[in-house]
A and B are shown apart, each in its own frame.
Chain A
Amino acid sequence: MSFLNIFKRKESKVSSGRQNSDRGILVFENTSEVIRAENVLKKKGWKIRVMGPPPEIRSGCDLVIEIPLIEELNILRTLEKAGVQPLEMVPVSSPLLQPVNLFQNKDFGKYLMIRAANMKLTVDKETMKIVNISGGGCPDVPYLAQEMVGKSLSEAPSPREIGHTLCGYALQLAYEETGRKCSL
């Protein structure tokens, strides 16, 4: 298939709007990295496709990898282990979208709550123990809470290690921000 055909298929896919709103695209430094990543992911059984990038996010490469958005964290971990990491990941439905990058803090005196996107993590400021995790809607949230609550920030597994979804990714951001705040 020529690149022209790839772009044609891409255009029709993007124009279908909501049908693709659960897909994301991985953008890499160059085409060889895309191919390496494609091989790694296909060997692991991920349902991914190599596509032409939309004009808005062209960054010097001609190909991107379309992935199920909800599996982003898992896929990124697979690629990290294989030593082939993308430059960025954006949802297909709107290439200009960026992850929420604002944090909100709420000080409860003895406790500090940090919110990133839809996830909230609360620590005891004296002991650095994670006392609660709330928010989110993906199935790894109860699992992450089960594994992290009651442990100190340094002892608890990070969401990056054991999370699988975008909620897990958001919790990772809250976890990192909490570490930064508590080390000040």
Chain B
Amino acid sequence: MFAIVGTVPDQDFPLAVGEVLLVNGVIRIEGKSVPVNRGTPALLAAAIKTCEVLDQPVPFGYVVGDIGQGDGSRRLYEYLTRNLGKCDPQSKAGADLNTITFHYLQPDVDWHNRVLFAVDGMAQRPVLIADAGFMYAAKMSGQSAKYDLFTPDAGELAFLADEEAPHPFYTRGFILHEEGQIPELIARAYEHKNASRYLLVKGKRDYVANRQGIQATIDSPLEEVMEAMGGTGDTLTGIVAALIEAGVEVKEAAIVAARVNRLAGHYAKPTPASQVMEIIQHIPRALEEILNENGGIREKTFAC
């Protein structure tokens, strides 16, 4: 089972824990609905679409409403510290998490550390993925190396590379957020121990890297307008999380996810005004195409 932890932009959305479904373009959890625009709902929707193709169980969600005041995030953090790795009393699930993806949460170093402490207490350590606000908190805490995968964009990579910056907003000016600087930024992030075991850097060209250096780059097909679209990074994180849960090794999963996300974007023929659901609906076609390539991961990973 794999968990996705994040927030939705609805102040009144209660803390919901359970299996997540995608019904008519709307995320449903514990009988509650939220539209898929960007953020954690987009990540969940992409993960569900990936699971459909892989014939895997849907993700287990830990979701709460938060519009930036941090109240929802703190309630969720508190819940996680008490219950992570234990069976949720209501859904009767959540005890056997193999992969956890932390996403849009109010960055809070103290709560991050408490959650990581709860992870350390789990019977079996899950694969840990972090993106968005929780990745910021992970970096601020100095514990990035405990994660298996971060999925930053160029601006967030610059933040990881700046050992002094407490948030991307304060990345120092001499650390340029330019695409051409990405190899240097990756090296600097690892040098200062502010990177996870693997990095999947999303952008005009996607990079998969680890401490040894850049392991792969993916640059086609290219739809430049995806940079302007909210949620296209979230879909990438959702796809890679589902692939890892399905048993694909982190590096391979990152490469495949980058290819799938780009191909789904290509099929959507987006403009800068397109919304992310237009891409999500093409994920199954893109994933099928890549899985069925000769020597692709379907044969290597999913062969019976």
* A residues in contact (CB < 8 Å) with B: 18-19, 21-22, 68-71, 74, 91, 93-94, 97-102, 104, 106, 108, 110-111, 113, 115, 117-118, 120, 122, 124, 131-146, 149, 163-170
Contact = CB atoms under 8 A, between A and B. Distances in A.
A22 B273 contact: no
A132 B229 contact: yes
Contacts of B40: 142
A7 to B, nearest CB: 22
A98 B170 contact: yes
Contacts of B170: 91, 97-100, 166
B232 A134 contact: yes
A35 to B, nearest CB: 26
Contacts of B168: 100, 117-118, 137, 166-167, 170
Interface string B34-46: 0001111100000
Contacts of B9: 139-140, 142-143, 145-146
Interface string B209-231: 00000000000000011011111
A163 to B, nearest CB: 6
Contacts of A135: 153, 155
Nearest to A138: B133
Could you tell me the dominant secondary structure of chain A's interface residues? mixed
Interface stretch (B47-55, B63-71, B90-98): B63-71
A106 B108 CA distance: 32
Q: Most A CB atoms within 10 A — which of B66, B170, B274?
A: B170
B166 to A, nearest CB: 4
A54 to B, nearest CB: 14
Contacts of B106: 70, 138-139, 165
Contacts of A170: 168-169
B275 to A, nearest CB: 8
Contacts of B141: 18
A137 B172 CA distance: 18
Contact of A132 (B155, B169, B171, B273): B273
A137 B68 contact: no
17 contacts: A69-B167, A70-B108, A97-B172, A102-B173, A106-B227, A113-B228, A120-B228, A122-B272, A122-B273, A135-B153, A137-B132, A137-B134, A137-B135, A138-B104, A139-B67, A142-B7, A167-B168
Contact of B70 (A93, A115, A137, A139): A139
Contacts of A68: 108
B38 A145 contact: yes
Q: Most B CB atoms within 10 A — which of A98, A137, A145?
A: A137
Return the 8 tightest CB-CB contacts between A and B, nearest first.
Answer: A140-B68, A137-B132, A164-B68, A142-B39, A143-B9, A131-B273, A118-B168, A143-B67
Given A21-B140, A164-B68, A165-B68, A134 B38 contact: yes
A142 B140 contact: no
B229 A134 contact: yes
A70 B155 contact: no
A138 B227 contact: no
Contact of A145 (B107, B110, B132, B230): B230
Interface string B232-250: 1100000000000000000
Contacts of B153: 118, 135
Given A132-B229, A132-B273, A163-B68, A99 B39 contact: no
Given A106-B227, A138-B68, 14 more contacts: A18-B142, A69-B167, A97-B164, A100-B169, A100-B170, A100-B173, A110-B271, A111-B225, A131-B228, A132-B273, A137-B136, A142-B230, A164-B67, A170-B169
